[in-house]
Structure formats: C-alpha cells, structure tokens
C-alpha cells in the first residue's frame, strides 16, 4: 500500500533560482516564476509498483468540482483510491473516491470534542479496502 501524503503545493522555486540573501523591497515589485513539482503518481503506478494499492489525495477549494477532479485522477493514473477534501473542511470530512464508490467520512461533534482526527477514519476505512484488494 502506498498512502501518498497531499502535496503542499503543485509549484516550487528550484534552489538554483533562490536568492542568496533577503529580497530587498527597495528593488521594487517582485515577480516570481515557479516551476511545476514533478509528478510521481504516474511512474509509481505504471512502472515502480504496478501491483500496489495506491491512495492519493485531491484538495480543492470548490466543492462543486471535487469529486469530478478525483475521478479524473483515478482515470488518468489508474490507481485505486483518491481521498478528496475541501480546504475549509479538510480536518473534519473527506470523500473516499474509488472507481465504483464515493464514501463520505465525517467526524461528529462528539468525535471532534474527544480530539479524534479524520485520519483515524481514513486509515480504518482504507485498511478494509486494502484487505479486499489483497484477497483479489
């Protein structure tokens, strides 16, 4: 099983392009050109571990496109699960998207008050999915 932590960003500034010293505001407005973070999901699924159970994450700010983006990722990369969530509720609810199902996982008010984290529900759910995957 590969449980791929969500990327902090899809963009970065290569170390070779980072300034050595503090950027001075007296130099005027700042323009930044960022590079795309290299994608590793495709080679992981296709070349490195084609028989593995692979879980990725999809974070959006617009809930209306969330599941569709998760489905697009499943179709593009041919892995098993996308944990889809929105920025505003990422700590309390997710949708586990597979080829056939969309399963919402939510923390109740009581669970939040007890200090439970959504990851506990995610991992528990994925354990059973992985078990079924391995039995096939």
Encode the chain in three state secondary structure: CEECCCCCCCEECCHHHCCCCCCCHHHCCCCCCCEECCCCHHHHHHHHCCCCCEEEEEEECCHHHHHHHHHHHHHHHCCCEEEEEEHHHCCCEEEEECCCCEEEEECCHHHHHCCCCHHHHHHHHHHHHHHHHHHC
Residue 111: per-residue pLDDT = 96
pTM of the model: 0.84
Tell me the pLDDT tens digit for each residue of 38-93.
Answer: 888 999 999 999 999 999 999 999 999 999 999 999 999 999 999 999 999 999 99
Average pLDDT over residues 29-34: 91
Q: How does pLDDT run across 115-134, given as a tens digit for each residue?
A: 999 999 999 999 999 999 99
């Amino acid at each position: 099983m590969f449980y791929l932590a969500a990327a902090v960003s899809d963009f970065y500034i290569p170390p070779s392009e980072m300034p050595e010293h503090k950027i001075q505001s007296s130099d005027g407005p700042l323009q930044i050109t960022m590079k795309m973070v290299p994608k590793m999901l495709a080679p992981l699924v296709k070349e490195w571990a084609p028989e593995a159970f692979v879980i990725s994450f999809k974070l959006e700010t617009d809930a209306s496109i969330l599941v569709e983006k998760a489905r697009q990722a499943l179709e593009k990369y041919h892995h098993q699960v996308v944990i889809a969530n929105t920025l505003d509720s990422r700590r309390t609810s997710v949708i586990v998207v597979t080829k056939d199902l969309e399963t919402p996982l939510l923390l109740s008010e009581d669970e939040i008050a007890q200090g439970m984290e959504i990851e506990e529900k995610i991992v528990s759910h994925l354990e059973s999915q992985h078990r079924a995957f391995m039995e096939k």
